Structure 1
Amino acid sequence: MSKAGALDLAAGVGGKIDKSEVLSAVEKYEKYHVFYGGEEEERKSNYSDMVNKYYDLVTSFYEFGWGESFHFAHRWNGESLRESIKRHEHFLALQLGLKPGQKVLDVGCGIGGPLREIARFSSTSVTGLNNNEYQIARGKELNRTTGVDKTCDFVKADFMKMPFPDNSFDAIYAIEATCHAPNAYGCYKEIYRVLKPGQCFAAYEWCMTDSFDPNNQEHQKIKAEVEIGDGLPDIRSTGKCLEALKQAGFEVIWEKDLAVDSPLPWYLPLDPSRLSLSSFRLTSVGRFFTRNMVKALEFVGLAPRGSQRVQGFLEKAAEGLLAGGKKEIFTPMYFFLVRKPLSDNQ
C-alpha cells in the first residue's frame, strides 16, 4: 500500500532535498517557467535539474492524491478511477503482446505503480528507468512490499542517455513520462537503440491537440499552467510526436488520441463540480482539505517551508489540465504502438 497519511505527506515533501532547502528549491524550480519569466530554451537545456527538482517536491503529493500510479486513464461508465487506471496499464501490456519471461523497460517509471501492475499482469521482468533518486528509493520499497523485487528493478539514469547496450529489451513502454524529454526525437532514438529489432514500443504521451492555437492567449496560458504544474520543458503536438517517431526509425502500427472517444472525460477527477468518495482527495473539497492541512503542517513545522508553494503550483496544474481538457486543446493519452524494423533496410 502507498503512503496515505498527512504525516507521510509532510515527511516526503522535498524528497532527497534537505528540508531546510525546500523553499529555495521551489523558488529555483518556479523560475524555469513562464509565469516567473522563464524561457522554453532554458527549461530544455536544464531539463534534468528542473524535472528532478519537480519530482523531489511533488512525489509525496502525488502519492497522497493518486496512489502509486501517477497517470490519467480512458474511462468507462460505472468504472472507478482506480479500476480505469489498472485497465489503462493492462491495455498497454496487451497492445505490446507481452509474454511471460520477457525483459521489458518502463521509461520514466515514477515510483513503479504501473511497473508492478504490468509485471504481475504479464509475468514479465520490468526494469524501471528513472533519474530521480527519491522515487527510486520509494519504488524499491514498494517492490519489496508487493514481492516483485526478485523480477523487477530500477535503474537511475537519464532517458536521453540510457546505460543499456543496443538491442537489450523485448518491449518498451512509457506512460505520461517522455513528455519531460527536452527533445522527442532524441528520446525516441534512444528507445529505438535499446529495443530489440522486430519488437514494439508503446506509450501514452501528453500533447497539445490540433485544436490548440499558439496565437490564442488563453490557450498559451493553459499550456503554461500545465508546464509549471507538471515539470515540463514544453508540450509538443501530436503531429510533432508522430514525426519524431518516424524520424527515429519506427514503423507506426497505429496511433490515436484515446481521449477523443472516452465515455467519461479523463479530466473528471479534477472537475470541482464533481463529488467522489473513491477519489475524494482529487475533488475540489479534497483539494481544499489538503491545502489547509499542508498550511497547518507547515505552520507547526511538520512540513518544510515551501510546502504550500508546491501545493500552489499543483493546484495551477489541475486548473490548466481541466481547462485544456474541456477545450480539447490538450490530451494526456495520445497513444501509439510502433515497431523497430528487423533490419535498417526495412
Structure 2
Amino acid sequence: KFTGANIVGLNNNDYQIERATHYAKKEGLADKLSFTKGDFMQMSFPDNSFDAVYAIEATVHAPSLEGIYSEIFRVLKPGGVFGVYEWLMTDAYDNSNPHHREIRLGIEQGDGISNMEKVEVALAAMKTAGFQLELNEDLADRPDQYPWYWPLSGDLRYMQSVWDFPTLVRMTHIGRGLVHRFVGALEKVSLAPKGTQKTADSLALAADCLVAGGKEKLFTPMYLMVGRKPAA
C-alpha cells in the first residue's frame, strides 16, 4: 500500500487465492493486486516481466532452490531485484549427527518440505541462478529479547501480555494433550475428517523440532538474501 506498486501474487491453491482477492478488495487495493494460480517452478510469465520479485518463507517448498531461483531470475527484468526470506539449516547443522537429522526430519515432515538445505547451498544456488548477491544475513542472529520461536515454545516466561497466554498455553504439554483428545473426539463423531488428529500430532512434532532447531542454532526461518539480475 505504501509503495504504490502493482503486485502479482502467485499461488497454487484456489482457496488461498480466493482469500487473497477478498482481502485485497477489503483493503481497497483490488486495482493494485492480482493473483495467478500456477507452479512457481514453471511460471507462465514471459521472460523479463517484473521489476522485482519477493518470496517470504515460500521457496523452501521447492524441490530445488537452484531451480526456483533460476525461474525467478528468468522473469525478472535486467537490473531487477529478488528478495527472499528462506528456511534453512545453519552452518552448525551436521548431517552425520542423528540428533540434528531428527530435528530436520521433524520440520520437513510436519511442514511439507521435501528437502531443507543448508545456508551454503542456498547462497550457491543464488549465484548459480545468475544473481549478484547484494545482501545475506541470518536475521535470527540479531539480538532480541524474545526469540522467534517463542509462540511455539509453550514457555510462559515469554508471555508479554495477557493476550499471549492462549498462544503459549496451547503449546504446553497439557494444552497439546487437550487438543489431541478434542480433535480425536471430533474425528470419532465425524465432525472432523479422518486423519485430522494425525495431522495435528505431526504439526505439534514439527513445532517441537522448530523450537529445538532454534534453541540449538541449527535452523533459521528468516535467512535473508537479496540478489540482483545483471543489467546486461
Normalization by structure 2: what TM-score?
A: 0.90
Mapped pair 1:295 → 2:174: no
1:223 aligned onto 2:104: yes
Distance of aligned partners of 1:229 and 1:336 in 2 relative to their CA distance in 1, 3 Å threshold: same
Which residue among 196, 200, 210 is the counterpart of 1:307? 196
What does residue 121 of structure 1 align with? 2
Matches within 5 A, 1:164-183: 164-183=45-64
Cα distance, 1:160–1:296 mapped onto 2, change above 3 Å: same
RMSD: 1.7
Note the 1:203-214 alignment, pairs <5 A: 203-214=84-95
Report SS of the residue matched to 2:10: strand
Equivalent residue, structure 2, for 1:267? 149
Per-residue deviation at 1:293?
A: 4.0
Which residue number corresponds to residue 223 of structure 2?
334
| SS of alignment partner, residue 283 of structure 1 | helix
Residue 236 of structure 1: aligned partner: 117
In 1, Cα distance between equivalents of 2:15 and 2:202: 20
Does 2:174 match 1:285? no
User: Is 1:281–1:290's contact at 8 Å kept on the other side of the alignment?
Assistant: no
Contact 1:271 1:284 in 2 (8 A): no
The residue correspondences of 1:71-82 to structure 2 (distance < 5 A) are none
C-alpha distance in structure 2 between counterparts of 1:269 and 1:297, whole Å: 25
Map Cα deviations across residues 136-184 of structure 1 (whole Å, 9 max, x no partner): 2222233233332222121111111001011111111000110011111
Number of aligned residues:
224
Question: Following the alignment from structure 2 to structure 1, what is the Cα–Cα distance between the partners of residues 4 and 189?
Answer: 46
Question: Aligned residues: percent identity?
Answer: 45
Task: Give 1 or 2 for the bigger CA radius of gyration.
Answer: 2
Q: Residue in 1 aligned with 2:80?
A: 199
1:285 alignment partner AA: R
Q: 1:188 aligns to what SS in structure 2?
A: helix
For 2:166 and 2:203, the matched residues in 1 are separated by: 13
Aligned 8 A contact 1:270 1:284 in 2: no
Per-residue deviation, 1:126:
1.4
- Once the two structures are superposed, residues 10-54 of structure 1 have per-residue CA deviations (whole angstroms, 9 ceiling, x without a partner) of xxxxxxxxxxxxxxxxxxxxxxxxxxxxxxxxxxxxxxxxxxxxx
C-alpha separation in 1, matches of 2:37 and 2:204: 29
**Secondary structure of the residue that 1:121 maps to in structure 2?**
coil
- Counterpart of 1:249, as a letter, is G
- Output the amino acid matched with 2:134: I
| Larger CA deviation: 145-154 vs 304-313 | 145-154
Provide the residue aligned with 2:34 in structure 1: 153
- Contact 1:185 1:244 (C-alpha < 8 Å) held by counterparts: yes
Unaligned ranges ≥5, structure 2:
none
**Structure 1 gap ranges (5+):** 1-119
Structure number with greater CO (CA < 8 Å, separation at least 6) is 2
* Counterpart code for 1:272: G
Q: Cα gap change, 1:300/1:146 in structure 2, threshold over 3 Å: closer, same or farther? A: farther
Separation (CA, whole Å) in 1 of partners of 2:46 and 2:72: 11
AA in 2 matched with 1:300: V
Match of 1:318 in 2: 207
**Cα displacement (A) at 1:323:** 0.5
**1:208, 1:330 within 8 Å by CA — same for their partners in 2?**
yes
